[in-house]
Amino acid sequence: MQAAMASVSTFVAIFLVLLAVVSSDLLVAHANTDFISGTCNKTNNPALCISVLTAKPRSSHASTEHDLASIALEIATNTAKHNVKVIGNLSKNNQSTPEGFALAICLKAYTEATSALEIYANGNFQIGLYTSTLDNVSFAMGASNTCKVAFKRIEKKSLVSYIDREMKEHCTVASNLINLLVHK
């Protein structure tokens, strides 16, 4: 009988410990979601900001606007790098075509955007030159427009309109969050 009661007591103790752990994690996650929402509400497009940041699990650990801006800059940089790979693969399959010509322009634009973000924007951000960082992000965002124009010139539907839109959105979120730091 005592063994059964000890077993029940152990089970209840373990259950209460697990409940406490889960509850505290939920409270922290909720608090971080509130922080992300509160910060994103200061931007031009809160819904987009929240959507982009909550897709990155590391955002839930951010505790400052600087942290969130850094994460958004990382997301934009990773998007540019990913887009270079996608466009590079598409270029191989469309050589000697009008689409291949447009993709070559896109590839150059996204390669330059990646450098602008990875080297210049990141470096400027790390040393607190937020206005320069914004210029770098704005330059990188232009890759999507350059690509759009390249396909428009050949009067063909863009093969990369989805990634162009994503690049523009991710750079917009990064710009909006970095802009919050400019006046501090």
- Residue ranges of domains in the chain, CATH in brackets: 2-182 (1.20.140.40)
- The percentage of the chain sitting over the pLDDT mark of 70, rounded to a whole number, equals 82
**133: nearest Cα among 64, 77, 53, 52:** 77
**146: nearest Cα among 80, 93, 82, 92:** 80
Predicted structure pTM score: 0.81
Going by the DSSP 8-state scheme, the letter that residue 57 receives in this structure is G
Six-digit token pair at 43? 């931007």
129-169 pLDDT tens trace = 999 999 999 999 999 999 999 999 999 989 899 999 999 99
